[in-house]
């Protein structure tokens, strides 16, 4: 009876969402209590969006839940990637837990994340052998393939870690991302990856309940954000490695797969590139925390945490839908130009919004006018 249930995709799909939801829902209060007793709360600082010590490490619940989920869905693991995945997420879990308990250096985190990615690459089913004509590129040299995959996944993992700054945002963005991946994998008959996506969605829905709670609030911590970021990278890698024949149910061109990845991950990647760019322009370390994130700008403009999470999640959905539609008749070069244009527009919008939150419109006009006069006088003296 149990074997029949675990081999029935429709029944298991519902089960895995419910099981993942309930496990996180039950485990988190226990984590919350232990952290309170041991005084391991996250302490607010000058860049925090919370004002009192708050329990963290909800990612511990994620780890145990996904391990149990992998047991239930092992019937669909026809590529035998499950053991590689268990080894990889265990490494990510350990480094995330260590970072939540005692601060870990960026170098150590990147090293351990790279080792976790290598475990995935040991499976033949996770190799990106071609870019399908993206910007005219087809076959990739093996060394370039491995280096490119490691770079892309490290970027994704840490981009998601960057965006985890206010209540509900990281979870909402992740639910958007995994809902898209679940649709792609289901339509492509990649049921193991479809079920993993559903499991993560179930976990995050339960976590959101506590993350928005006023009495039992908890953060996912680096333990959670690194795990969820790694699963986003895992699904991204599978999507890029998929044979084009599996995408027959979609109209987008195969050469646009990499562009679609950038659209699906638009908010985390945009925020990370923007923040790192600003830090480097100011001569700071890319890893030095500040309040330059887009969610900080929206919070400072008067929006609540919930409204910021919903707004950015909805905007990410809109960008994904538009990109998928355009990718059906535009080539990869045209789509790349579109994405760059979109990044520039968003960059200008948030730069203007940040100024508006700092000064009134009249003050901004006076500052810009004085700056113009100063430059003009300097040129006249020369």
Give 10-residue mean pLDDT values along the chain (382 residues): 76 94 95 81 61 81 95 92 95 92 86 95 89 88 91 94 88 96 95 97 96 88 94 96 88 93 95 89 76 86 90 95 94 94 92 74 48 52 50
CA-CA distance, 307 to 375, in Å (whole number)? 41
CA-CA distance, 254 to 244, in Å (whole number)? 6
pLDDT value of residue 43: 67
pLDDT value of residue 343: 93
pLDDT value of residue 367: 47
DSSP letter, residue 52: S
pLDDT value of residue 122: 93
pLDDT value of residue 54: 79
pLDDT value of residue 207: 96
List, in order, residues 6 or more apart from 281 with CB less than 8 Å away: none
pLDDT value of residue 57: 86
* Dihedral sign for Cα atoms in the order 137, 141, 142, 145: negative
Q: For the chain, where are the alpha helices, taking DSSP H only?
A: 2-6, 9-38, 59-72, 82-101, 106-121, 142-163, 169-187, 191-211, 221-241, 257-264, 266-281, 294-300, 305-326, 332-358, 361-381
pLDDT value of residue 373: 53
**∠ CA(209), CA(213), CA(217), 5° rounding?**
100
pLDDT value of residue 361: 44
Taking alpha carbons only, the member of 237, 226, 228, 180 closest to residue 204 is 228
In the structure encoding, which two tokens stand for residue 92, read together?
A: 């990510």
Contact present, 303 and 166 (Cβ < 8 Å): no
Count how many Cα atoms sit within 13 Å of the Cα of residue 359 in the half-sphere of its side chain. 11
| Tokens 């948030």 -> residue | 350
List, in order, residues 6 or more apart from 319 with CB less than 8 Å away: 263, 266, 342
Contact present, 31 and 55 (Cβ < 8 Å): yes
In the structure encoding, which two tokens stand for residue 237, read together?
A: 């890698």
| Tokens 């965006």 -> residue | 163
Answer whether 0.75 is exceeded by the pTM.
Answer: yes
């Amino acid at each position: 009876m149990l074997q029949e249930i675990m081999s029935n995709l429709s029944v298991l799909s519902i089960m895995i969402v419910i099981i993942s939801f309930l496990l996180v829902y039950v485990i988190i209060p226990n984590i919350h209590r232990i952290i309170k007793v041991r005084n391991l709360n996250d302490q607010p600082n000058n860049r925090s969006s919370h004002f009192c010590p708050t329990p963290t490490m909800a990612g511990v619940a994620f780890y145990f839940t996904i391990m149990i989920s992998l047991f239930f869905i092992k019937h669909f693991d026809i590529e035998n990637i499950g053991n590689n995945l268990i080894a990889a997420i265990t490494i990510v879990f350990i480094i995330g837990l260590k970072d939540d308990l005692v601060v870990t250096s960026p170098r150590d985190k990147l090293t351990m994340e790279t080792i976790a990615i290598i475990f995935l690459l040991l499976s033949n089913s996770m190799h990106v052998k071609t870019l399908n004509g993206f910007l005219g590129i087809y076959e990739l040299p093996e060394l370039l393939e491995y280096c490119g995959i490691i770079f892309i996944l490290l970027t994704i993992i840490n981009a998601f870690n960057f965006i985890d700054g206010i209540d509900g945002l990281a979870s909402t963005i992740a639910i958007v991302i995994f809902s898209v991946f679940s649709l792609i994998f289901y339509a492509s008959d990649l049921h193991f990856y479809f079920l993993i996506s559903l499991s993560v969605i179930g976990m995050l829905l339960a976590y959101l309940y506590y993350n928005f709670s006023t009495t039992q609030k908890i953060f996912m911590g680096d333990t959670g954000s690194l795990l969820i970021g790694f699963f986003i990278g895992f699904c991204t890698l599978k999507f890029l490695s998929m044979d084009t024949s599996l995408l027959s149910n979609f109209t987008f061109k195969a050469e646009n797969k990499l562009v679609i990845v950038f659209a699906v991950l638009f908010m985390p990647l945009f925020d990370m590139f923007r923040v790192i760019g600003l830090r480097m322009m100011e001569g700071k370390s890319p890893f030095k925390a500040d309040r330059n994130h887009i969610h900080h700008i929206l919070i400072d403009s008067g929006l609540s945490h919930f409204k910021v999470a919903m707004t950015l999640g909805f905007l990410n959905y809109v960008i994904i839908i538009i990109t998928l539609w355009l990718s059906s008749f535009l080539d990869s070069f045209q789509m790349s130009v579109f994405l760059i244009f979109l990044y520039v527009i968003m960059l200008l919008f948030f730069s203007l919004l940040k100024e508006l939150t700092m000064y009134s419109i009249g003050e901004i006009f006076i500052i810009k006018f004085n700056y113009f006069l100063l430059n003009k006088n300097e040129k006249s003296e020369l």
